[in-house]
Amino acid sequence: EQLGAGSGADVPNAPPASMHDGNVCGDDEEELEGLCYKKCSALTQGAYPIRTTAWTCCKEHPCTLTNQVHNVGICSGFDVAGDLEGHSACPHTAGACYQNEELFMGMCYKKCSLMEPTYPRRVGPATCCVSEDLSCAMPSNSKTSSALAVGGGSGETDSTAPTEPHHPVTQLTESM
């Protein structure tokens, strides 16, 4: 069952998710060794759909040196979370963030783009930047504040989403 935005599992602001497919990750992710990665089929345009390691996708079973591709990196290459979790997010534990949140270092935070549109990229738990490159080292290109280290819940109208940073929520990806 594909859930609509904002109505996932009867939870406001839930991401779209197929709730009864056995996948504990986001719909654009697959689980390997307890972490959720962007699907190899998406990373390789369907040519190598079988994930065998954080950095390797295979064309078919058995996976051999002649039918696999590698793209090694730390939170880059094939070692990334799905696009629903934010730009260039690292692999994460089972579950998903709410739609108004982004994944950073395994935790869900309210999107920088919603709180500080001039600084749309999260580069730290309490820091948002104009980009993801070294220009963030320039004080004028980033903003750091404890007010940015929050979850997506407002604490007022939406009591289901945490107001503090939190781990991905499994109830948003699979019915329990």
d(CA 39, CA 59): 13
Contact 37, 74 (CB under 8 A): no
Confidence of residue 176 (pLDDT cuts 50, 70, 90): low
d(CA 80, CA 88): 7
What share of the chain in percent tops pLDDT 70?
Answer: 89
d(CA 129, CA 162): 23
Q: Is the pLDDT of residue 158 over 70?
A: no
Q: Provide the token pair at 164.
A: 């503090």
Phi, psi of 139 (to 5 degrees): -55, -30
Sign of CA dihedral 119, 120, 123, 125: positive
Q: Is the pLDDT of residue 169 over 80?
A: yes
Spatial CA neighbour of 30 closest among 22, 135, 69:
22
Confidence of residue 157 (pLDDT cuts 50, 70, 90): low
Q: Provide the token pair at 119.
A: 């600084």
Spatial CA neighbour of 91 closest among 30, 150, 152:
30
